[in-house]
Structure 1
Amino acid sequence: MDLFDRLKAAHPQAWAAYVDHPFVAGLGRGTLPEAAFRTYLVQDWLFLIQFARAYALAVFKGRDLVEMRAAQKGLAAILDVEMDLHVRLCERRGIPLEVLETTPEHRATTAYTRFVLDTGMRGDLLDLHVSLAPCIVGYAEIAARLAMRPGALDPSNPYAEWIAEYAGEGYQEVAREARAHLDRLAERSLTEARFSDCAAIFAQASLLEADFWSMGLAGAA
């Protein structure tokens, strides 16, 4: 197993709470309330802003130019590509940029993103990327699994676009590179004694991701 699979296996209940969440099931079935998805979309835009800061921190934490350039690439992808794509997705859902810019962060957004930033500030690059992995790689795994569900990618599913985006080869390659980067970092600094600490970071991040889904559902209540 690579490090990502080892981290998942260390705390399977935390991982299941995230990837098997009712929000995820609703995406695949097309039954997720629209209000829940709209709440999620707005908060996910705010989430991306903080993740850009996490990649900026990764540049600072880089021990050599290879690591610094890898982090800069991730930062540029968020600021120059993903943010614009997210704005257009929101606009197609009737959510203008003004709403994105004036909506305050939900507590679930703040909890997860500040956990990532705090983890990165206190630790090293491995700690930071372990805390990011449930989001980056988890979305790829969730979407790939949903895409195999009959009807998930049909035009009749209002969330087919979201599933297709994260199940697509472009994002799947991002996830594969994230997994490989975790392994490269682990080769330099992971010991068996430290693994339990990394697993705890990964589990907490997974549970905070589950809370993020729950925040979306609460927005439809």
Structure 2
Amino acid sequence: MGVLPRECFVHFIKQDYHYLKYYARAYGLLLAKSRSYAMITSAASTIQNVLREVSTMHKVFCKEWSITSEELESSPESPATTAYGAYLLDVGLHGDDSKLLVALAACLLGYGEVGLWIKAEAAAEDTWVTLEGNPYLRWIEDYSGRDYQNAVKQGIEILEEIVIKDPPSTLRLAQFKEVWNKCTSLEKGFWDMALTLT
């Protein structure tokens, strides 16, 4: 069974819905900043994937958890959602495509890691996670599944290609690290927000 209280997951889904608007717009900025057809295609594909996620996965969650479209749209953004989304857009508006990719990677890789971690925990002996009858099984399967893990792999490969083509200076690497640390902190704050219902 799932050990997360229902109200925390419902709050998380509502906030994730708001956050994904920022995430898609940040990829729109990446699309505009991209200088190759490969990057343009990747950014456009990610925007389509986000829109598909909202129109399919979120709709299923909302139906399963009795969240109406009106309730989803009218739910206020939490401060954690606004802070994270605004930071992504700020990096997108003021940074270059490489910095924005680093910022966006925190979410992409974070969800992938959490999905795999929960799945691994379920397979461990004396685990706190049971998949059978778990109300969060679809979420676990979505983020530990092949499609999402392929997106994570692609995201890592794109970042690696950029670094190989244009190795960052010590200063540039420090800037990447600063963006990464800020985004992972905001990502953690987003997860904490769901648990504390703030």
TM norm. shorter chain > 0.5: yes
Match of 1:52 in 2: 24
Q: How many residues align?
A: 191
Shift of 1:90: 1.6
Does 2:151 align with 1:174? yes
Greater Cα offset, 185-194 or 210-219:
185-194
Partner of 2:78: 106
Q: Could you tell me which residue of structure 2 aligns to residue 207 of structure 1? A: 185
What whole-Å deviation, never above 9, does each CA across 1:13-56 have from its counterpart, x for those lacking one?
A: xxxxxxxxxxxxxxxx7211111111000000011111110111
Shift of 1:64: 2.2
- Counting only pairs closer than 5 Å after superposition, residues 134-213 of structure 1 correspond to structure 2 as 134-150=106-122, 152=129, 154-189=131-166, 190-213=168-191
Shift of 1:187: 2.5
Q: Deviations over 1:46-72 (max 9, x none)?
A: 111111101111110011222112111
Aligned residue in 2 for 1:11: none
Q: Is 2:18–2:77's contact at 8 Å kept on the other side of the alignment?
A: yes
Deviation larger for 86-95 or 154-163:
154-163
The residue type equivalent to 1:83 in the other structure is: V
Deviation at 1:104, TM superposition (A): 1.9
Residue segments in structure 1 that go unaligned for 5+ positions in a row: 1-28
Residue 173 of structure 1 deviates from its aligned partner by 0.3
Q: How does 1:123-142 map to 2 (within 5 A)?
A: 123-142=95-114
Q: What is the one-letter code of the residue matched to 2:86?
A: R
Q: Which amino acid aligns with 1:73?
A: S
The Cα of 1:153 is off from its aligned counterpart by: 5.3
Identity of aligned residues (%): 31
Q: Which TM-score applies when normalising by structure 1?
A: 0.81
Contact 1:91 1:97 in 2 (8 A): no
Q: Residue by residue, what CA displacement relative to the aligned partner does 1:77-117 show, whole Å, maximum 9, x if unpaired?
A: 112x1111212212211111111111121111010011011
Alignment of 1:5-154 (within 5 A): 30-79=2-51, 81-84=52-55, 85-150=57-122, 152=129, 154=131
The CA distance in 1 between the partners of 2:69 and 2:144, in whole Å, is 26
Contact 2:80–2:190 (CA under 8 A) maintained in structure 1:
yes
8 A Cα contact 1:125 1:185, kept in partner: no
The 10-residue stretch of structure 1 (177-186 or 153-162) with the greater mean CA deviation from structure 2: 153-162
Which deviates the most, 147-156 or 191-200? 147-156
Kept in 2: contact 1:153–1:160 (CA 8 A): no
Distance, in Å, in 1 between the alignment partners of 2:191 and 2:45 is 27
Deviations 1:137-165 (A, max 9, x none): 11111111110113635223222221111
Aligned to 1:22: none
Find the aligned partners of 1:135 and 1:43 in 2 and give their Cα distance: 14
Mapped partners of 2:136, 2:50: distance in 1? 22
Question: Per-residue deviation at 1:191?
Answer: 2.4
Letter aligned with residue 137 of structure 1: L
The alpha carbon displacement at 1:192 in A equals 3.0
**Aligned equivalents of 2:36 and 2:135: distance in 1?**
44
